[in-house]
Amino acid sequence: MAGSPLFRSLALAGAALLSHGAHAADAAPPPVASFFAAPQLSQATLSPKGGYVALTTMLPDGIQALVVRDSTNLSKVTLLARSDADRALITSVHWINENRVGFTVKNLDKEFEGNLDEFAIDRNGENRVHLISGNWKHQQKQLGTNMVNRTLTAAYSFHGVTHDGSDDILVEKSTWNNIDRAPEQTRLMRLNTRTQALRSAFDGNQPEAVKSWLTDSNDVPRVVTAQVKGRCITSHRYPDDTSWSEIGNSACYQDQRFTPLFFDGTDTLYVYAHYKDNGALFRYNLKTMKMDAEPFVETPGYDFIGSAEIDRVSRKLLGLHVYTDAGTTVWLDPVLKAEQAKIDAALPNTINTVRCAQDCAASPVLLVTANSDRQPRRFLLYTRASGAITGLGGVHPDIQPAQMGARSFHRYTARDGRSIPAYVTLPPGKPSGPQPAVVLVHGGPMARGSSWEWEAEAAFLATRGYVVIQPEFRGGTGFGAEHFQAGWKQWGGTMQDDLADAARWAARQGWADPKRVAIMGASYGGYATLMGLIKDPAVFRCGVEWAGVTDIKLRFTSTESDASRETLGYSLRLLVGDPDNPADAAMMDRNSPLLRAAELKQPLLMAHGLKDLRVPIEHAQKFSAAVKAGNPNVTSIIYDNEGHGWRHPENSIAFWTQVETFLDRNLKQAQ
């Protein structure tokens, strides 16, 4: 399969749909709430045999509901759970077996990421059990009594379901240090969701500092990954053996990455590993302890990003969902390949991701997720016997594709000759001449920022008449090791130059008015917004930042941050800079928005969550005070009930309403 024409053509997956869909540019754009309200239908998942589909949907009264529908008679609906969406959200739904459902609930009033509750319930709504409490004050044994509360503490977290038809799930038990509440070790356990009986998932010891686990097709823990003093270590064990053997040991980030992804049966492990400059999918034979010399799948120009579709009964790999510039599916199973073709013929204007039940051959239906650059995700059922396709609902049903702008993938050349990928969203219709533009900077920055699909922020800005440029600047992932490493210790340096170069490139294409370009983003994107205004005032007329880093050194010294000792002691020093190194320390001061706040003279809208632990509120407080001393055109907003980003829809709607007003005044109407 590697290097075949099929895989070389994956980069064209999105382009085939670009010509579809008419625009309605003259119609009034959708209101802010259409983009940023809570998703109407956010999740859909098939039961193991495909007889039922579980859905999380938003009710008119602001209550999120978990329901189960009979997949062959959708009028049969059972309500399993309700959640006040302003306080808590059902973030994950998973079938334990054909008759029992598990779900995870996130408390929106708590910022700490470990704050998750886990429940299980029968699909008829009975026998609900609270399995894990996300409350860190929860104790299994209460003071003054010998009675035991079987609900597990927040030291436990959901890992995955089993595939043997039992009522068991797999959970991870973490041992946390007392300094930064970071997990130092995890152990895999098996939990019965009815009796709450808990036992180890395997016998014997395990390597130190295990961060993640991978089980084979028999639900046996076989592979672990650990991070020890900057080394990323992968170890393996045989099912009947208690000892572990290393199969990967490298310097994290620096050496070639080796990441176990999934099993095909019990002895074929699929791993992500480097091939040429990009990451590819390889097969690793655990009997011979050797990896294939050639990749199973490579995506030239892109790191492999994908997931597997596996029949859990036959244990066969059915296909792969793969992402390059856009998503596509490559089926190994001829029946599913033919069914995909029928679905695509019926839904020609969207990318249609087809998922089967665990017992795929027996399932009467397939679950389809349809989306495009103009179409938010919709969920549908395909009935295999009749070929009928029935809609279940969508994430943002008020969005009409004809009112959205087209989105396309490009590569531009930075000032030092480097090729930089970027997504561009144009205003709907055919605007005459260059338009006001926004460079929208992704967070991370160690991440892939965008994809060829509908994104609320870019789509919203485009409907307001802005060209939206989203650079995949150096230092991000998904485009090869060299592209990633070129951004090390380049905060405010060449990473920043890539953003200004994106604005100039868009102007040369005739899309952007060079005199009316804004920069905006969150987290790292917030940092880049501030540095863009400071470093390139001739390029960026105004800016919007939220949850942004305002001082690099503050990431190391803040006592409110959730950064772990491993992050502070290794990865930040490698990727961003080492404050104990004089040259790095000088670079960090030189590229600190806080220390250069007096240079920022353009209009700025900034916002932050009071409960932010990733980038604590002191970043915003210190910068706001410093910049306002010399700039009267700064507006700062603090959301008392938010953390790192907006979780409450009313805050998102209010924020983006302010963004619309700010850009209209400072960009669109500017001369």
Q: How far apart are CA 650 and CA 636, in angstroms?
A: 18
At residue 255 the predicted structure's pLDDT band, cuts being 50, 70 and 90, is low
- What domain range includes position 505? 401-668
| Tally of structural domains, the chain | 1
pLDDT tens across 175-198, in order?
876 555 566 789 999 999 999 999
Q: Are 372 and 350 in contact (CB under 8 A)?
A: yes
Question: Dihedrals φ, ψ of 506, to 5°?
Answer: -65, -35
- Stretch 417-446: mean pLDDT, rounded? 95
Task: Determine, yes or no, domain membership for 482.
Answer: yes
Task: Determine, yes or no, domain membership for 337.
Answer: no
Strand ranges in 229-275 using DSSP code E only, listed in sequence order: 231-236, 245-251, 258-264, 268-275
Q: How far is CA 376 from CA 73, 350, 373, 433, 450, in A?
A: 26, 10, 8, 28, 14
Q: Is the pLDDT of residue 110 over 90?
A: no
Q: What pLDDT does 277 receive? A: 86
Beta pairing partners, 316? 311
Going by the DSSP 8-state scheme, the letter that residue 123 receives in this structure is: T
Per DSSP, the three-state class of 239 is coil
Q: How far apart are CA 494 and CA 640, in angstroms?
A: 35
Q: Is the pLDDT of residue 115 over 80?
A: no
pLDDT tens across 468-527, in order?
999 999 999 999 999 999 999 999 999 999 999 999 999 999 999 999 999 999 999 999
Look up residue 483 and give its amino acid: H
At residue 80 the predicted structure's pLDDT band, cuts being 50, 70 and 90, is very high
Query: CATH number, domain at 486?
Result: 3.40.50.1820
- Stretch 453-482: mean pLDDT, rounded? 97
Q: What pLDDT does 603 receive? A: 98
Q: Spell out the residues 6+ positions from residue 446 whose beta carbon is closer than 8 angstroms to its own.
A: 475, 476, 477, 484, 575
pTM for the whole thing? 0.92
pLDDT tens across 362-411, in order?
999 999 999 999 999 999 999 999 999 999 999 999 999 999 999 999 99
- Stretch 130-156: mean pLDDT, rounded? 74
Report the Cα 268 to chain-centroid distance in Å.
27
- Stretch 21-25: mean pLDDT, rounded? 47
Q: What pLDDT does 399 receive? A: 97
Task: Determine, yes or no, domain membership for 260.
Answer: no
Q: What pLDDT does 28 receive? A: 87
Q: How far apart are CA 452 and CA 326, in angstroms?
A: 5
Percent of the chain with pLDDT over 90: 78
Q: Three-state SS string across 558-627, please?
A: CCCCCCCHHHHHHHHHHHCCCCCCHHHHHHHHHCCCCCCHHHCCCCEEEEEECCCCCCCCHHHHHHHHHH
Task: Determine, yes or no, domain membership for 449.
Answer: yes
Residue with tokens 């990865």: 571
Q: What pLDDT does 23 receive? A: 46
- Average pLDDT over all residues of the chain: 91
Task: Determine, yes or no, domain membership for 474.
Answer: yes
Q: How far apart are CA 639 and CA 545, in angstroms?
A: 14
Q: Is the pLDDT of residue 331 over 70?
A: yes
At residue 5 the predicted structure's pLDDT band, cuts being 50, 70 and 90, is very low
Q: What pLDDT does 377 receive? A: 98
Q: What pLDDT does 140 receive? A: 58
Task: Determine, yes or no, domain membership for 443.
Answer: yes
pLDDT tens across 610-632, in order?
999 999 999 999 999 999 999 99
